[in-house]
Structure 1
Amino acid sequence: MSTATITVHHTSTSGGLRGAVASEWTKLWSVRSTWLNMVGAVLLTGLLGLQLGFSAAFERDNPAPDRLPAPPAEVGAMAVGALMIVQVVIAAFAMVPVTSEYATGSIRSTVQWTPVRRNVVLGKAVVLAPVLFLYGALLGLVAAVGAGLAAGRWADWTASALVTELLQIGVYAMLAGLFTAGIAFLIRNTAGTLTAAFLLLMVVPLMLGQSSISALQWLAALLPGGAGEAFLGGSSDLLSPAAALGVLVVWAVGGLALGLRVLERRDA
């Protein structure tokens, strides 16, 4: 009597960076905070767009006696104005995949399932990058449509300008979000990360930019928020849009690199 031996070869394709990306994608869309953030951001952006559109129409219908009539308002430019306010909500979206794991303790399971910690950071970045780009472009479109409808006959719907500005908004949302995700690994809690993002993206650049001291103006321009304003605005006394984009890339890559270093050196 002979015995048959069957050898089963099992090849796993779910490990490494590919598995980390698949895991992060599932985690991102399986929690309520992701959807609540998006719904809230769409509503807020739409309301801001309406406000900016009504304001633009009012200013053009009631010009000051000593000023020439203003040209129609570009809907893309109004979308940029709305995004500069809503960007904190986008930063919150980007940090939650990191800070929520530290808050619940699930980060320990994450690093056990993905022992190469570099893949943890890269997995989150690979998932967040396209999502943030589309998220920013979507919010820009919502703001542009709301502003254009509210501005009525004073709205400039030039398609080429609108598409360009939506693409720029998407790029800025992606880079600012990746920077926020990176520093989330450093700070490790929601309140602290959101505060740091709020300061670096909005408050500090705005404060320093009002100074008459050249060094402080340069510092404001080189912060993420200042560089984002120059990139989206298309003009700056200190940074060209291309230079501003380079600064944003440095902040995004630097934030992720710092987050990776902290994750590798500290216990989860």
Structure 2
Amino acid sequence: MTVPTATLTLESSSRSRARLGDAVRSEWTKLWTVRSSWLNVASALVLAALLGLQFGIGTAYNNDHPEPGQLVAPQPVGGFGLSAVLILQVIVAAFALLPVTSEYATGSIRSTLQWTPVRRNVVQAKAVVLAPVLFVYGLLLATVAAVAGGLMAGSWADWDLRPLVTDLLSVAFYLTAAGLFSLGIAWILRSTAGTLTAAFLLLMVLPMMLGQSGLRTLVWIAAFLPGGAGQNFLSRSTDPISPTLSVVVLLAWTAAALVTGTRVLTRRDA
């Protein structure tokens, strides 16, 4: 009895992996055959360039016209990419949530679940497709902002390669985690407006409001929100928590959103 049981288990596992692979290929195709994905990328690239130009011009002007007693020094160009994240993260969140919310809006989620009856495979497939795409997306946006800002800053731009690479990879990592977090929320709320609002609040608005408070309790709360942890990681600040702990907090939020989204999908009717 043991051998047939083990054989059936292996066959079942093999079929599950094959179905997950089919789902991944399907999600990749769907992601790049809809106009909204390309419009999102194009608009984000334009905004990244404009933000970089603005930051570069501001840096050059401020350093050329310093306040009395103010010390000025060249600005690492990677900092322009870091500064742009605050706004760009909302566009990346929209990119990540649309593969879910658009299917619910059009009703095509029913076809997706018929083609992939194991529902957790649907969540996993979208996450597997989005993770590398988000990383490259974030890397590209940070590079565009950094280069644009560095060119406009002129002699006040520091093009040292090592900190530049560190900054670009940090932005790519954060935007990947923020995008997957938004994907998890999308499975829970199923609405584009609702998901984008929740992501906007947790990634940007609440961390900014609470982090600027004079009450240390609110500053600590901000640091343990996904956006606050991300900003703390990007700034390499140790107040109120270390960058390492910030990464743990950010990944915990991302994992919790995806796990909760999977449970909601498996238990709720489409």
Fold agreement, TM-score > 0.5: yes
Secondary structure at 2:69 match in 1:
coil
Secondary structure of the structure 2 residue equivalent to 1:242: helix
Contact 1:75 1:157 in 2 (8 A): yes
Which of 51, 56, 60 matches 1:53? 56
CA shift, 1:236, in A, is 3.1
What's 2:39 paired with?
36
Q: Secondary structure at the match of 2:193?
A: helix
**What is the distance in 2 between the residues matched to 1:235 and 1:144?**
21
1:33 CA displacement: 0.5
Q: Paired residue for 1:27?
A: 30
Worse-matched range after superposition: 201-210 or 230-239: 230-239
Task: Find 2:199's aligned residue among 161, 174, 197.
Answer: 197
- 1:94 aligned onto 2:96: yes
* CA distance, structure 2, for counterparts of residue 219 and residue 13 of structure 1: 41
Equivalent position of 1:220 in the other structure: 222
1:77 alignment counterpart = 79
In 2, Cα distance between equivalents of 1:209 and 1:84: 14
Aligned pairs for 1:130-141 (under 5 A) are 130-141=132-143
Between 208-217 and 100-109, report the one with greater CA deviation.
208-217
Which residue identity lines up with residue 113 of structure 2 in the other structure? Answer: V
Indicate yes or no: 2:172 matched with 1:170.
Answer: yes
Q: Partner amino acid for 1:111?
A: L
CA deviations over 1:65-101 (Å, ceiling 9, x no partner): 1322x11011101110011211100000000100000
Partners of 1:227 and 1:248 within 8 A in 2: yes
Q: What is the CA distance between 1:13 and its match in structure 2?
A: 9.5
Shift, 1:193, TM fit: 0.6
Q: Which deviations, in whole Å up to 9, do the C-alpha atoms of 1:230-267 show, x marking residues without a partner?
A: 11111131121111111111011111001111101110
Aligned to 1:5: none
- Which stretches of structure 1, 4 residues or longer, exceed 2 Å deviation after superposition? 11-15
Counterpart residue identity of residue 65, structure 2 = N
2:248 maps to which of 246, 251, 262: 246
Among 113, 116, 122, which residue is 1:114 paired with? 116
Q: Percent identity?
A: 59
- In structure 2, distance between residues paired with 1:205 and 1:13: 40
With over 3 angstroms needed to count, the CA separation of the structure-2 counterparts of 1:157 and 1:13, relative to structure 1, is same
The CA deviation at 1:14 is: 8.6
* Mapped contact 1:13–1:19 kept (Cα < 8 A): no
- Match 1:149 to one of 136, 148, 151: 151
Query: Which structure shows the bigger proportion of residues in helix conformation?
Result: 2
SS of corresponding position for 1:100: helix
Cα gap change, 1:198 to 1:13, in 2 (>3 Å): closer
Q: Which runs of 5+ in 1 are unaligned?
A: 1-10
- 3-state secondary structure, aligned to 2:219: helix
Letter in 1 for 2:208: L
User: How many Å apart are 1:211 and its aligned residue?
Assistant: 1.5
Deviation at 1:121, TM superposition (A): 0.4
Give the partner amino acid of 1:20.
A
TM-score by length of 1: 0.93
Counterpart code for 1:195: T
Counterparts of 2:207 and 2:192, CA distance in 1: 22
* SS of equivalent residue, structure 1 residue 164: helix
Q: Are 1:231 and 2:233 an aligned pair?
A: yes
State the shift of 1:16 in Å. Answer: 1.7
RMSD value, Cα? 1.4
Q: Which residue does 2:265 correspond to in 1?
A: 263
* Partner Cα distance (2:210, 2:238) in 1: 15
Q: Deviations over 1:16-51 (max 9, x none)?
A: 211111110010011010000000000000000000
Work out the number of aligned pairs and report it.
Answer: 257
The letter for the 1-side match of 2:120 is: R
User: Quick one: distance in 2 between partners of 1:81 and 1:117?
Assistant: 38
